[in-house]
Amino acid sequence: MILNIKNPKVQLVFKYFEEISKIPRCSGHEQEISNYLVSEGKRLGLETIQDETLNVIIKKPATEGYENNPGVILQGHMDMVCEKNKDTEHDFTKDEIKLRLEGDHLYATGTTLGADNGIAIAMGLALLASDDIPHPPLEVVYTVNEEVSMIGAMNLDGSLFKGRYIINLDSEEEGKITVSCAGGVTAVVTINKEYKEITYPKTAYSLIIKGLQGGHSGMEIDKQRGNSNVLMGRVLNNLCKNGKIEYDLVNIHGGLKNNAIPREAECVILVDSQYEESLQKEISKMLNILKNEYKTSDPEVNLECHKLEENYDKALTNEVKEKIISVLNLMPRGIQTMSADIEGLVESSTNLGVVVTNDDEIKFELATRSSVKSLKDDLNDRMDLLCKSLGVKFDLEDDYPEWEYVKNSKLEKICVDTYEEVTGKKPEIIAIHAGLECGLLLDAIKGAEAVSIGPDLFDVHTPNEHLSIGSTERTWEYLVAVLRNVK
């Protein structure tokens, strides 16, 4: 093992984490990791199911004395958000994640770590492989494509399960038991490309926004971090405001996943020579403005303007350019409402996570989240109205339900009592704004109860993602104790 984990209780967990870090598992590309899980389940001599969606279920009989206890379904997802720094050379389709330890924390090198939700894979496999942990009947299920569409959980056959206690291992804060989460949907805005010819030479410039922290569009949406796509829209609008600088827009790109706050955005513009000096001055002014506004939440924000050698003989029409600027500036963004019932809980939000110029269209993807379905519907209706007024296409994809809180849950009581037993402290019962698969699992497995737990994870969905080793050790011991106490 590369990882020198001294605590023997979690060595197996990190052995598996290191193993899966060698296997490509970006969302939508889970065939290899799914096959690995199947082979590992069969190697352990356990009943193993791989469905058509590539979800994997591995079943382990109860240990002696626990045969009649309620069965437990341990759940996590096998895909990861694949983000990297722009200067990092890494091919997520074949390169292994390069792990490194810094004190108590485990990082990748220039890429996302994949502890969201690789730590669930590792813990589940460690339980399946261990022969000294008492537990009731176990059904460990790993779903696909959670980070993009939750299609794995949507297609899960609930009749395959006998357990009625679901422990989701996709939470990111030790000492907190999640009992409710937001639902969500992907909003897609499409603008058809139309070009005009450039009849005389113009100078091309690349505008780049970079240096932002980004983060999970559910967990970090309240951190007031900059959204590179939104900021690029603001820059483009400012340049043409009041006729300051006339420019043509060639293309625009920003962000990689709609559920990650985008860290970088880039576009190419064309300007007449008479505007070149003014362009640099306006970019400098905008950079100072952004540096001031984000001095606390995103102090490394940067706006660059580089002259390009390429010559362009066409650019997007003025009408298409105006539609792009309007979408970037007018679509709802960030926190929309805060819960009046749970202090500090974001109730609804949107995240303009992806802007991409394709062959025939410019496409925008927004992650809309809400713990109240009617508010999610209202957000979508308002975006639809705006798109209709702009004459652009609006669609909804991958809708998943919110997970509503259920009072007097037996599983919640077991988890609370066990936490007090193990730590001497009370856990915090929380609802989160991020989306978990629990709502879909509860729809599929009638009569089940669910909680979500996990170790401390930081800066997920960014190349600075890191996992606390100590927290993982404590969470593992807590999970083992919960299984021992399930009755």
* CATH number assigned to the domain comprising residue 132: 3.40.630.10
Domain limits for position 248? 185-400
The CB density around residue 210, as the number of other CB atoms within 10 Å, is 16
* The pLDDT value given to residue 3: 66
All residues at 6 or more sequence positions from 176 whose CB lies less than 8 Å from its CB, including other chains: 427, 428, 429, 430, 453
- Same domain? 176 vs 246: no
Q: How far apart are CA 368 and CA 22, in angstroms?
A: 32
SS3 of residue 16 by DSSP: helix
Return d(Cα 442, Cα 454) in angstroms, integer.
19
Query: What pLDDT score does 382 carry?
Result: 97
Between the alpha carbon of residue 131 and those of residues 73, 87, 181, the distances in Å are: 18, 45, 34
In terms of domains, do 406 and 396 share one? no
Identify whether residues 408 and 396 lie together within a single domain: no
In a domain? residue 4: no
β-strand 176-181 against 428-432: which pairing, if any? Answer: parallel
> Which residue, 400, 416, 435, sits at the end of a domain?
400
Give a yes or no: residue 284 inside a domain: yes
pTM score: 0.78
Separation in Å, CA 439 to CA 153, 201, 287, 430? 9, 57, 43, 15
186-203: b or e for each residue (b if 16 or more CB lie within 10 Å)?
bbbbbbeeeeeebeeebb
Distance CA 229, CA 221 (A): 15
**Cα(151)–Cα(390) distance, rounded to whole angstroms?**
31
Residue positions annotated with a catalytic role = 79, 146
- The answer to whether position 1 is within a domain reads no
pLDDT score at 2 = 55
Measured between alpha carbons, how far is 441 from 445 in angstroms, rounded to an integer? 6
Among 379, 400, 421, the domain-final residue is: 400
Same domain, 343 and 406: no
Mean pLDDT per segment of 10 residues, for the chain of length 487 residues?
Answer: 70 95 96 98 98 98 96 98 90 95 94 96 97 96 93 96 97 95 95 95 96 91 96 96 90 92 97 92 96 97 96 96 98 94 90 96 96 94 98 95 89 97 95 91 94 96 94 97 95
- Whether 3 maps to a domain, the answer reads no
pLDDT of the residue at 327: 98
Q: Residue with structure tokens 């799914």? A: 34
5 in a structural domain = no
Number of domains in the chain: 2
Domain boundary among 400, 431, 447: 400
Same domain for 173 and 191, yes or no, is no
Does any domain span residue 6? no
128: tokens are: 């399946």
Check which CATH number belongs to the domain holding 272 and give it: 3.30.70.360
Phi and psi at 165, nearest 5°, equal -110, 115
176 within a domain of the structure (yes/no): yes
